[in-house]
Amino acid sequence: MKLDLNDPQSIVAWHKVRPAVHGPHLETLATMWPQFRRTIALAQVIIQCESEQEDEERLELAEEAWA
């Protein structure tokens, strides 16, 4: 996989491969290369929104299963 630190969607796709490892790496990359901080920050927002959306979908499925 090719990671393009100028493209937030590339960062999001890279994060999805190994979130437990790549999540902390994002902070390190932002520190090492400040020119990419804005793009990394945007990718982190996208990752968080997708995570919250997945949580909402799981909750809805659990509520439907319980009913």
Q: Please name the helix (run of DSSP H) or strand (run of DSSP E) that holds residue 64, with its range, or none.
A: helix 37-66
pTM tops 0.85: no
What gap in Å lies between CA 34 and CA 53, rounded to an integer?
29
Domain ranges of the chain: 38-67
Q: Which H or E run includes 17?
A: helix 8-17
pLDDT per residue rounded down to tens, the chain (67 residues): 899 999 999 999 999 999 999 999 999 999 999 999 999 999 999 999 888 888 888 888 888 888 6
pLDDT of residue 57: 86
- Residue 23's SS3 state is helix
